[in-house]
Amino acid sequence: MISTNSIILTVIAFYIITSYLIFYNVHSRIEKVIDEEFHIPQGLAYCNFNFSAWDPKITTLPGLYILSTIILGPLRLCSTFWLRFVNYIVGVINLCLLIILFGGFNKNANERQRLSALLSGFNLAILPPLFFFTNLYYTDVVSLMFIILLMVFNKQNKHGLASFCGLLSVIARQTNIIWVAMMSGDYILRQFYRWCIKTKPNRKLLDRISKEDVQSLRMDNLWDLLNPSMGVSLWEIKQHTQL
C-alpha cells in the first residue's frame, strides 16, 4: 500500500513539474503584465546592486526586490526570467508550507487527516488569483510565504520566529500589518487564557464575559475560517473557571 508520505511527495512533484511548464509557457509568450512594467525594472536595479534607484510609482516596500537580490545578485542572474523564477520557487515553497500548516506532515495525525491537509494545501496553492502570480514578478506570492511562515511558527509557539516573519511580510507588502495584528491578538488572547487557567481570576470579572461578547470578536466570522481560537478563547475561559 502506498504511504501517505509518498502521496504527498508525489503531489508536490506533480505541482513542481506542471507549474514549471505553465511558467515557461507564460514567460515565453508574455513580456510584461500590467504592474510588471514597474516591478521588473525595479527588481533589475536592485539585483545589480543599484539601491539608489526607485520608481515613485511603486507603492509597496522593497521586500520582493531585496529577496530577489539576495538570491540572484551574487549569481549574476539578473533578468526577467530569473526574477519571475523567484516567484515560481516561492510558489512551490508555499504549497509545502500550506501542507505543513494544515498538518500534512504531522506524525500524530491519522491518514485521513493528513490527506485532507494535502488536499486543502493543494487547493489553495492552485487558487487562480494566487497561482496566476506565481508566473509573474509580483509581490503577492512572496508576501503570502511570509504570512504562512508567521502562522506556522505561531502554531508551533515559536513566537520569535513568527514575529520576524511578520516583520518580513510587512516589508514585502505593508497591508500585511492587518495579518500581523490579527495573529498578535490571537497570541494575546491565548496568553490571557493560560493566565486565567493558572491563576483563576475573580469570578465576577469572568461572569461579565458573555457569549455575545465573544461573538462580537469574530469579525463577521471571517476569523473563524482562519483561526477559531480567536473567537472562542474568552468563552473557554469562563467555561473552564466554572469547573
Q: What is the pLDDT of residues 70-92, one digit of tens each?
A: 998 888 888 889 999 999 999 99
Q: Which long-range contacts (CB under 8 A, 24 or more apart) does 101-109 make?
A: 101/148, 101/151, 101/152, 101/155, 104/8, 105/8
How many distinct structural domains can be found in the chain? 1
The answer to the question of residue 197 being in a domain is no
pLDDT tens per residue across span 25-39: 888 887 777 888 888
The boundaries of the domain holding residue 110 are 4-138
Spans of the chain below 50 pLDDT = 211-212, 214-215, 217-243
pLDDT of 164 reads 92
Asked if 84 and 27 touch (Cβ cutoff 8 Å), the reply is yes
The answer to the question of residue 151 being in a domain is no
The answer to the question of residue 109 being in a domain is yes
pLDDT of 145 reads 93
The answer to the question of residue 226 being in a domain is no
The answer to the question of residue 58 being in a domain is yes
The answer to the question of residue 121 being in a domain is yes
- Enter the pTM of the model: 0.76
The answer to the question of residue 35 being in a domain is yes
The answer to the question of residue 11 being in a domain is yes
Q: How far is CA 48 from CA 39, 52, 66, in A?
A: 14, 11, 11
